[in-house]
Copies of this chain bind each other. A is one copy, B any other.
Amino acid sequence: MKKITLDYTNIQDAVLLSELSGKLESYSEIRNMIINKTGKGNDFLGWVDLPDRISDQEIEEIEALGKRIREESDLLVVIGIGGSYLGAKAAIDALLPAFKKSGEGIEIVFAGQSLSPRYLKSLLAHMEGRRVTVNVISKSGTTTEPAVAFRIIREWMIAKYGKEEGCRRIIATTDSSKGALRTLADEEGMKTYVIPDDVGGRFSVLTPVGLVPIAAAGISIKDLVQGARDGAAQYRDEADVTKNPSAVYAAIRNILYKKGKTTEILSNFEPQLHYVAEWWKQLYGESEGKENKGIFPASCDFTTDLHSMGQWIQEGLRNIFETFINVEDSGVKILLGREEKDLDKLNYLEGETLEFVNRQAFLGTASAHRDGGVPNMTINLPDISAYSIGKLFYFFEWGVAVSGYMLGVNPFDQPGVESYKKNMFALLGKPGLEKETQAIREKLAGNKLIV
């Protein structure tokens, strides 16, 4: 069984071993809080046993649907935002090739993840002349971004396919019984999947929210779920914290945070993991950023960003730490050759693989950043496979529950996300908010400082 390991050699200059062992002592208590559901936010712990609860039958049914979508479509438009977007995007970007061969296989695109008119216009043009299926994902059906996009795209689908076939080509992932999208889907006879009540958006990648688009991309969700199951066995079920990389990751980040390392950079050396980091930013930022505390989650794609953020990381303000994702086997062998004239002086690498060069860049970077005062850890990921990505998802989910409880916050709520929405609804003049509308319009009409 391929295991994820955590190498924390490069935190030694910043963390005393006694600090680590002290922190780890609290783990068994926190683990019990999660498993026995006695901590804050315990009505949103459905993710803990989720990989075990998914039946083989459910997986097969979704994979069969995915196959059908691929057969009948050139394009799958996935409509969703936040947790209804990032999990699927992370898995699909990680597991499909960076460039899709034109004319071959389905293309997966996303909508309703912003309010940009430029993006939506371009997407609608992109849909022209192609066989389209839509997967709309929203618990309530009234979240502004996906609701607006879905109105426009549903109209497009019905104009193109007629009502019956248009609705047959729309899959709704939503609440089991209530809400605007559930009502609409039932009325129009759309196929539906259920978002469980006890799984928050950022933990939903292993529900149909993530599984349907991932399966439609042709990725084995059976392997993905198996990875998460084995991850649960290794992180959730492992009471001995010294054998638990997810718990040690959580403990170290809490120690570093308390020492003023208030920003964490998750850095990869495989750019296809870019959206795994975006998914992680929601998971960790939304779980911990509250009560005026929490580690700021940032990310880099290396070596690309060594030529942009590298200077700052090496020599800037020393308030950061770094976590690398090191892919142990890229699965791709590109050999470097020899040139007659060695103008670029690369002949000494003859016979080496590009992967070898990339790995020395990683090792050199981790060492240089440690020397520069940036404590860092490495998550060793065996490969970029559905199995390993599924395990990594659980690694981070378990880690953030532990880390959030160590910080003393409720890792499962997100009260601050409403603030911009309240203002936006008032500014839009939403019925029922007349007072708020007047108040914010007056506020924003106040004295402006503009240059």
* Chain B residue nearest in CB terms to A314: B416
- Additional 12 contacts, C-beta under 8 A, given A11-B449, A288-B312, A289-B313: A8-B451, A9-B448, A98-B122, A101-B125, A151-B346, A183-B343, A201-B307, A285-B309, A294-B317, A296-B319, A306-B417, A364-B427
CB-contact partner of A354 in B148, B288, B291, under 8 A: B148
What are 6 A-to-B residue pairs whose CB atoms are below 8 Å? A97-B118, A115-B357, A120-B354, A289-B315, A310-B416, A365-B423
Q: Is A162 an interface residue (CB 8 A)?
A: no
Whole-angstrom distance from the CB of A223 to the nearest CB of chain B? Answer: 18
Cβ contact within 8 Å between B319 and A449 = no
In whole angstroms, how far apart are the Cα atoms of A397 and B76 in the complex?
Answer: 41
Whole-angstrom distance from the CB of A143 to the nearest CB of chain B? Answer: 8
List residues of chain B with CB within 8 A of the CB of A422.
Answer: 364, 368
Q: Is A36 an interface residue (CB 8 A)?
A: no
1/0 contact string of A223-255 vs chain B (CB within 8 Å): 000000000000000000011110010000000
Complex copy number for this chain? 2
Whole-angstrom distance from the CB of A259 to the nearest CB of chain B? Answer: 14
In whole angstroms, how far apart are the Cα atoms of A183 and B345 in the complex?
Answer: 13
Known: A6-B451, A289-B315. A81 touches B304 (CB 8 A): yes
Known: A289-B315, A427-B364. A281 touches B296 (CB 8 A): no
In whole angstroms, how far apart are the Cα atoms of A333 and B271 in the complex?
Answer: 34
Q: Is A270 an interface residue (CB 8 A)?
A: yes
1/0 contact string of A409-432 vs chain B (CB within 8 Å): 000001111011111111111110
Cβ contact within 8 Å between A123 and B144 = no
In whole angstroms, how far apart are the Cα atoms of A269 and B424 in the complex?
Answer: 14
* Chain B residue nearest in CB terms to A184: B343
Cβ contact within 8 Å between A317 and B332 = no
Q: Is A12 an interface residue (CB 8 A)?
A: yes
* Chain B residue nearest in CB terms to A356: B428
* Chain B residue nearest in CB terms to A378: B450
The 7 A-B residue pairs with the shortest CB-CB distance, nearest first, are A289-B312, A364-B423, A82-B307, A289-B316, A314-B416, A282-B308, A364-B424
Whole-angstrom distance from the CB of A327 to the nearest CB of chain B? Answer: 9
In whole angstroms, how far apart are the Cα atoms of A373 and B278 in the complex?
Answer: 24
Cβ contact within 8 Å between B312 and A297 = yes
Known: A296-B298, A336-B151. A416 touches B315 (CB 8 A): yes
Known: A296-B320, A315-B416, A431-B348. A303 touches B363 (CB 8 A): no
Q: Is A435 an interface residue (CB 8 A)?
A: no
Whole-angstrom distance from the CB of A400 to the nearest CB of chain B? Answer: 13
CB-contact partner of A344 in B118, B180, B349, under 8 A: B180
List residues of chain B with CB within 8 A of the CB of A286.
Answer: 308-312
Cβ contact within 8 Å between B336 and A317 = no
Q: Is A220 an interface residue (CB 8 A)?
A: no
Known: A118-B384, A423-B368. A151 touches B344 (CB 8 A): yes
CB-contact partner of A117 in B202, B301, B304, B358, under 8 A: B358
CB-contact partner of A451 in B242, B288, B306, B417, under 8 A: B242
1/0 contact string of A146-166 vs chain B (CB within 8 Å): 011011100100000000000
Cβ contact within 8 Å between B363 and A120 = no
Segment at the interface with B among A26-34, A41-49, A209-217, A439-447? A439-447
